[in-house]
Amino acid sequence: NKFVSIEVINVPSHTRGSVVYALRNRVAPDIALTLSESTEAMGPLQCHLFTGDAIFSGGGGVPFESDLERASDNFIKNPKNLQSKNGSSKIRPGAGALAMERCFAEVLARANGPWSSETARNSIYSMIYPGHEYTTDLIMRQFDQKNIPGDLRWVHLPPSTFFEAASHYYVSAHRRALAQKTKLLTIPLPLQKEQIFNPTFRSLKRRGEQLI
């Protein structure tokens, strides 16, 4: 309708059929109105991302059916390796981390939707709505350095990132530890904040910095 639009974003990783639904308030793709005019007419630019099991706050769904492969998993040249690793399945078992990063990057890029102007992109209010609330468990795992690749450990990140994650953990733990019937949800969460808490988003950021 003229008020909202829905986009289905394909994110094959947790399962091959995984999708993210992006619900946006509808504004002309080229942002013909100035920001103040569009805000007055339609409200702030909003994108609500219903991520299911693809993206959680603090992590993502286990990539059971990832669709990318590492160089060491070249099953075209060595088809016997596939059978020895995973029976008769065609799923690439070594592709998990790469597939997750690709899907996270897709969601990050598509969160802006059709809004093309720089002013619009900088004013979009994006929220993520995961299918499950695993926030405290996923954040806690990040404090065990064995779970984090060497180049993404806390010593290589700004102190502010560590303290933001620690704060998010304690707030989430407090909300979930309240008395029965008074517990508070830890989600939804602004996408901008999730890029700090989520190790996959942090990995994407680091790759981009290395590329630049």
- At 139, the pLDDT band (50, 70, 90 cuts) reads very high
Instruction: Specify the higher pLDDT residue, 192 or 149.
Output: 192
Average pLDDT over residues 93-100: 63
- At 38, the pLDDT band (50, 70, 90 cuts) reads very low
Quick one: tokens of 93? 């078992």
Average pLDDT over residues 54-71: 76
User: How do residues 168-186 score in pLDDT, each as one tens digit?
Assistant: 999 999 999 999 889 999 9
- At 74, the pLDDT band (50, 70, 90 cuts) reads low
Q: Say whether pLDDT at 97 is over 70.
A: no
Smallest CA-to-CA distance from 47 within 64, 63, 32, 25 is with 25
- What is 114-142 written as a DSSP string? T--SHHHHTT-EEEEEESS--HHHHHHHH
Instruction: Specify the higher pLDDT residue, 29 or 113.
Output: 113
Burial of 159 (0-12, 13-18, 19+ CB in 10 A): exposed
- Looking at residue 46, the DSSP 8-state letter turns out to be E
- Looking at residue 26, the DSSP 8-state letter turns out to be -
Listed in sequence order, the residues at least 6 apart from 188 whose beta carbon sits closer than 8 Å to its beta carbon are 48, 127, 128, 129, 130
In contact, 212 and 115? CB cutoff 8 Å: no
In the block, tokens 């598509």 appear at 110
- What pLDDT is stored for residue 66 in this prediction? 65
In contact, 124 and 66? CB cutoff 8 Å: no
**Mean pLDDT taken over the chain:** 78
- Looking at residue 56, the DSSP 8-state letter turns out to be E
